[in-house]
Amino acid sequence: MSNQSTVMEFLLKGFSDDPNGQIVHFGIFLSIYVIALSGNVLIISLVFLNHQLHTPMYFFLVNLSFSDICFISTTVPKSMATSLTNSKLISFYGCVAQIFLVVTFVSAELALLTIMAYDRYVAICHPLQYMLIMNWNTCSHLTSASWASSVIHAIIETGVTFSLNFCGSNIIEQFFCDIPQLHKISCMDTEANRVLILVLGFILDSFCIVFIFVSYGYIFSVVLKIPSVQGKYKAFSTCIPHLTVFSLFILTAVFSYMRPKALSSPTVDLLSAVLYAVLPPVLNPIIYSLRNKDIQEAVCKISKKLKAFL
């Protein structure tokens, strides 16, 4: 890579050059990071400590929470360090690593959400065969495939991005290394790269999104046939958190990468990156905690044990 680029470090522009603004930025991002870590670690801990949650659905949820922790840890700590030290430099290979990790965890998030939709489809449409179909061997294979495919996707996207030459400006108009921003500062024609990444992303994203919509089409058709209101509510209650998390992820990603150029500006780009890279890891555990009775009951049990212990 070194003979492909004369730029050996990049400058992350971030949010503010004003010292007071940097302190505010650090405080906000620190609070967000602590909330994200606490919520996702809580989800993982509850599932491990409560044997009633040792089911395929919560196995996938643990993987999703782990992905969220890694995703937000890839971008936010570096941004906080930039505010504290006022050093906005990131090395060339640091930028490579950040691009690779961001794409890996974003891809894993979408893959896991797709698997979770299939899990809900089997649970509701084929309840008698659920444990036979979604056995632990199947769950481990699906999860391994999602992580492996995410790493391969990240390798391709990172390789394509850093096959470009960066011999002019090294200023990235973002608080982390982002592929569209790197395209902007490359001194080569990036059209082929843009098309390749767009086609690859479109194929993968379309497959996952269509699969999720088809799964929920079957789910809704079965749920609407359930005669009791309580039965319908119980079935929907297991789907609502997943649907909410999926909608949040897709809406923020689409706004970040597929909005019209007329809506693009440095300020909008920064805000959209916050929505895309920071908001889902913070809100995902909150959504599952608020809308999931099993999680709420597990929290109550742990709280009672802690009170008894103290």
Structural domains of the chain ordered from first start: 2-309 (1.20.1070.10)
> Average pLDDT for residues 290-301, to the nearest whole number?
76
Write out the DSSP string of 126-172: SGGGHHHHT-HHHHHHHHHHHHHHHHHHHHHHHHHHTTS---S--EE
Sorting pLDDT into bands at 50, 70 and 90, what band is 272? confident
Q: Tell me which of 257 and 211 has the higher pLDDT.
A: 211
> Average pLDDT for residues 214-243, to the nearest whole number?
85
Sorting pLDDT into bands at 50, 70 and 90, what band is 139? very high
Q: Tell me which of 27 and 263 has the higher pLDDT.
A: 27
Sorting pLDDT into bands at 50, 70 and 90, what band is 6? low
Average pLDDT taken over every residue of the chain: 85
Name the DSSP letter for residue 187: S
Q: What is the pLDDT of residues 62-94, one digit of tens each?
A: 999 999 999 999 999 998 988 888 788 898 899
Q: Tell me which of 289 and 144 has the higher pLDDT.
A: 144
In DSSP terms, which residues pair with 10 in a beta bridge?
90
d(CA 117, CA 213): 9
